[in-house]
Structure 1
Amino acid sequence: MARFLIVTDEAGDWRPYLPSENMVLVNDYLDMGAYSDNGATQVINLCRSYDYLSSGYYCSLMAEARGHRVLPRVMTINDLSQDRFFSLPQTGLDKLPADTDVLAFKIYFGHCDIPALEKMCRKIFERFTVPVLDMKLQKVAGKWQIEKVEPFAYQDLSDSEQDSFAQYLEVFSQKVWRMPKPSKRYRYEMAMLVDEQEKMPPSDKGALKRFVKAANRIGMDLKLIGPNDMATLGEYDGLFIRSTTNISNFTYRFAKAAEKMGLVVMDDTESIMKCTNKVFLTELLNHNKVPMPKSMIVKASDPDWADNLIATIGLPVVLKVPDGAFSLGVVKVKTRESLLEQAEITFGHSALILAQEFLPTDFDWRIGILNRQPIFACRYYMSRGHWQIYQHHQSGRVSSGSFDTLDLKTVPKSVVDAALKAANLIGDGFYGVDLKEIDGKACIIEVNDNPSVDHGVEDLFLGDLLYDRIMTEFLRRIQLRGF
């Protein structure tokens, strides 16, 4: 468990608050070699000023040089001074009185005293992780815009504001440094991001438990965190995402925040961006001459798209929503009429649709790739009486076909080679490459940045060794970064 330090300019600055052994003066913290042992440390930089080359600026700079987790980071300070204009999350603003045109308030560790704006404040804090932010919003042409967003010195808070600051610091501190210590000390701490409300998560509870045990075996503590635990990221050395990723949901924000803090993240934001959009992925594979089904990107703005699609690919054809997962947003159409009908529905969600030729097979290959090496191979069979692995029924029930898990040595070389070629275009993370095999030739369907690992499925051949290999890769990367 990381120790924590509250760094301030003068001892008198902390007088309104409860005495703390964790409070240190910035001049002491800036001493050459001070607090630079190898222990994990979380620093809350509460200096009055973060201006360039000020003591507050150097505090964050020195913290990062020592491998400490610090809030705010130097990159955050630079962003505030150079790029103060960003898209304001509108969440909750519609609940404010209609006659309100100007709003001034403070954000304390992602919280504020306006209940309707709590979610918006968390998003702003994710963008600018500063202890206290001074915000001013103004309504222009019926839409709220940011007039001011600046760090605010906690030393200048009013009495009532001091109460809010202390309250939210306590909330933040409980998440960051007051968690119970594990019974056994581990050299490294890791977080595994899960969403207990997710109906089809990439790992079931059995697999999650085995990831934890695998981490423990090699000297790491792996804790499960959820969508509301972003404030705890500074406590960890690595982040393993085990919730379905998407650019528009919390998983991407967690990955982005963790990367800014210097954590080892799997999968990283670039992999999420490349894999979760099928249009991007198709263009990438096509540009690099990776074998895949006949494909066409259909544009809503093209009046002749239907004729061009039928002439290029033919019918039946498979239409895919660019950011769908687990067979969601994927439909097969057999006639021109159903093609137009389904496309109209999909165009309501996206300006582009991916169309691919229909290639019927009994099963799809899934090759798991980690750090540019294959680690498992599965065959997922189509759901009974259906053309996909997953069948989503109108009742909400989801059924799937059977599977088998094989020794990689028994997998056709063409399948493994094609999977590696596709995954290597994405990066060196953890990927699941889906392929079809037709007449001995492999054909890439997609690359998943957050592949399924369920107990009794993907681990059926390797058993615990699969979890050990994934956790060992995290350990290797953490050690390379010198945490």
Structure 2
Amino acid sequence: MSNTLIIVEKEADFQAYAASENVFTFEQYVAHQYLRPSELKNERHTRFRIINLCKSNDYLSIGYYCSLLAEARGHSVIPSVRTLNDLSQRSLTEMELSSITPLLANKLLKHIPVSFQGDVIHFKSFFGQSQTSQHGELAGKVFQHFTCPIVDITLSFNSVWQIQNIATMSRDSLTATEELDFAVALDDFCQKVWRKKRSEKSYRYDLAILVDHQEKLPPSDNKALKKFVAAAKTLDIGCELITEDDYHRLSEFDGLFIRTTTAIDHYSYRFAKKAEMEGLVVIDDPTSILRCTNKIYLADLFSSNNVKAPKTQLLFINDASNVDKLEQAFSYPIVLKIPDGAFSIGVEKVKNKAELIAALNRLFTRSSLLIAQEYLYTEFDWRIGVLNGKPIFACRYYMVNNHWQIYQHGKNRVASGSFETLPTFEAPKWVLESAIKATNPIGNGLYGVDIKEKDGAGYVIEVNDNPSIDSGVEDLYLGNELYQIIMGEFLARMEKKRSTTTYKSNHG
């Protein structure tokens, strides 16, 4: 169960708004006077969402201590201490905004006329909403990075639009019109986010499953997603499918399960980072995403940890000796890969020098470093699903007819080969051992390890942090038990995290 609390410094601070039983003073919050008798008896099972509306958020102010105390108690709070610290230091603000400015600002504001160099625009954002529609999308993007009730955003033009400054603000500085807009934004935020009713039943834990309904090759199909939700309910976990637009809602949940294809420069990584920062149980965790989505990292990791893999060589752009080095080290055919490809995208097999040169020219337009690997012919690739260091499913993915990969990308569709799902105990011992050995240095998350079996040995091709789990494929042997296993791991981790947070709160 969860409760939303709005914290102010004094009761008079909220007199301009409609009365609410969820509004408390900071002193009441400190003294736990917001807890009802039933919650006092069972506080460890009550999750609190804190909206900190104290007047000042400066370092060591009442507002700062409100956010600090909320985090110490294991409560989800906006703004977080990290947000307050980031906004108080210009260098940290600029670092956090590096991914959205200046390109985003220019994209969203290109319709604004510029009369001269040095033009400056000020506007306020209330819970990611702007008073003017032309700034609305930018306000929402800034709110995703700095989840703060009120911020003042300054834009400046010097050849391009840039976010010059972002500062927290007190409600005391708002005009009467702005106060009304803030009240509307607060009510909208509470109704649509904090008090959103996902179901009539109150579950012990809430899990968000991040999906992209437009993705052509998602990690899980709709039937599999429904099975995840059903399995979670049997464990008293409420599930909700969320999308990219729900970034600011992460604090509602106890866990995040990413079921959209991940990448470092993709919103999925930002979701994982924020969820981890908010104290959620996260699969895929950001460290696993970072390590698994780059084949150069994996190749070096395999080498450092004596994981058997195909012979591999790193290639640098503008190195005139690339072709000679490859022909000395490998025999044809040779496999070339971009570091961050997925579903066989950005992978080419070359059979001679002419094909090699052409492929290098194509792929170096997409990455300054490439991977070259020896080609190991097999009729199928093993895919071993590993969760927390233990194999949970085993599949053979067969190559597409008359093609050397399990996926073949055409102009209008993607073809895939057949498959065979087996119990893990029927997979060769060395294949399972290779899978476990490959994932141990990465983490304890959910991984799909691709292995080629040749001459009684398992050669690890790659480790996927976001393995496919589709209905009728990976679950063909275990059925619903596969979903129970994964949701059971979430339950165990959420139980552990909650008990640890409660202990720290009671003994801190």
Q: In which range does the TM-score fall when normalised by the shorter chain? A: over 0.9
Tell me how far apart the structure 1 counterparts of residues 426 and 266 of structure 2 sit (CA, whole Å). 38
How far the C-alpha of 1:10 sits from its partner, in A, is 2.2
How far the C-alpha of 1:67 sits from its partner, in A, is 1.8
**AA at the equivalent of 1:50:** N
Q: Secondary structure at the match of 2:441?
A: helix
State the match for 1:16 in structure 2: 16
Q: Deviations over 1:274-315 (max 9, x none)?
A: 111111111111222211111111111312112212221232
What TM-score, normalized to structure 2? 0.91
State the match for 1:132 in structure 2: 150
**AA at the equivalent of 1:85:** E
- Pair 1:112–1:306, CA change in 2 (3 A): farther
Tell me how far apart the structure 1 counterparts of residues 115 and 283 of structure 2 sit (CA, whole Å). 46
Whether the aligned pair in 1 keeps the contact of 2:106 and 2:160 (CA below 8 Å) is no
Higher alpha-carbon deviation: 300-309 or 25-34: 25-34
Tell me how far apart the structure 2 counterparts of residues 384 and 186 of structure 1 sit (CA, whole Å). 47
Q: Secondary structure at the match of 2:70?
A: helix
State the match for 1:122 in structure 2: 140
Tell me how far apart the structure 1 counterparts of residues 173 and 442 of structure 2 sit (CA, whole Å). 48
Query: Aligned to 1:156, which of 168, 173, 186?
Result: 173
**AA at the equivalent of 2:142:** I
Aligned residues: 481
Whether the aligned pair in 1 keeps the contact of 2:24 and 2:34 (CA below 8 Å) is no
Whether the aligned pair in 2 keeps the contact of 1:376 and 1:408 (CA below 8 Å) is yes
The alignment status of 1:206 with 2:223, answered yes or no, reads yes
Higher alpha-carbon deviation: 170-179 or 385-394: 170-179
State the match for 2:504 in structure 1: none
Q: Secondary structure at the match of 1:3?
A: strand
Query: Aligned to 2:86, which of 74, 79, 82?
Result: 79
State the match for 2:4 in structure 1: 4
**AA at the equivalent of 2:106:** L
Tell me how far apart the structure 2 counterparts of residues 434 and 303 of structure 1 sit (CA, whole Å). 32
| Superposed structure 1 runs of 4+ greater than 6 Å apart | none
How far the C-alpha of 1:219 sits from its partner, in A, is 0.9
Q: Deviations over 1:400-434 (max 9, x none)?
A: 11111111111111111111011111100000000
How far the C-alpha of 1:145 sits from its partner, in A, is 3.7
Q: Secondary structure at the match of 2:440?
A: helix
Tell me how far apart the structure 2 counterparts of residues 243 and 402 of structure 1 sit (CA, whole Å). 23
Higher alpha-carbon deviation: 271-280 or 96-105: 96-105
Tell me how far apart the structure 1 counterparts of residues 416 and 198 of structure 2 sit (CA, whole Å). 41
Q: Which runs of 5+ in 1 are unaligned?
A: none
Query: Aligned to 2:288, which of 261, 266, 271?
Result: 271
Q: Deviations over 1:355-376 (max 9, x none)?
A: 1111111000011111111111
Q: Which runs of 5+ in 2 are unaligned?
A: 502-508
**AA at the equivalent of 1:178:** R
State the match for 2:238 in structure 1: 221
How far the C-alpha of 1:116 sits from its partner, in A, is 4.6
Percentage identity across paired residues of the two chains: 48
Q: Deviations over 1:24-55 (max 9, x none)?
A: 11121122575472311111001111222221
Q: Deviations over 1:334-355 (max 9, x none)?
A: 2222222222222222111111
**AA at the equivalent of 2:459:** C
Tell me how far apart the structure 2 counterparts of residues 184 and 478 of structure 1 sit (CA, whole Å). 19
Q: Deviations over 1:216-246 (max 9, x none)?
A: 1111101111111112211110000011011
What TM-score, normalized to structure 1? 0.95
Tell me how far apart the structure 2 counterparts of residues 84 and 183 of structure 1 sit (CA, whole Å). 41
How far the C-alpha of 1:117 sits from its partner, in A, is 4.3
Whether the aligned pair in 2 keeps the contact of 1:50 and 1:77 (CA below 8 Å) is yes
Whether the aligned pair in 2 keeps the contact of 1:93 and 1:117 (CA below 8 Å) is no
Query: Aligned to 2:429, which of 413, 436, 450?
Result: 413
Superposed, which structure 2 residues align to 1:249-260 within 5 Å?
A: 249-260=266-277
The alignment status of 1:56 with 2:50, answered yes or no, reads no
Tell me how far apart the structure 2 counterparts of residues 456 and 84 of structure 1 sit (CA, whole Å). 47
Tell me how far apart the structure 2 counterparts of residues 299 and 132 of structure 1 sit (CA, whole Å). 47
How far the C-alpha of 1:81 sits from its partner, in A, is 2.4
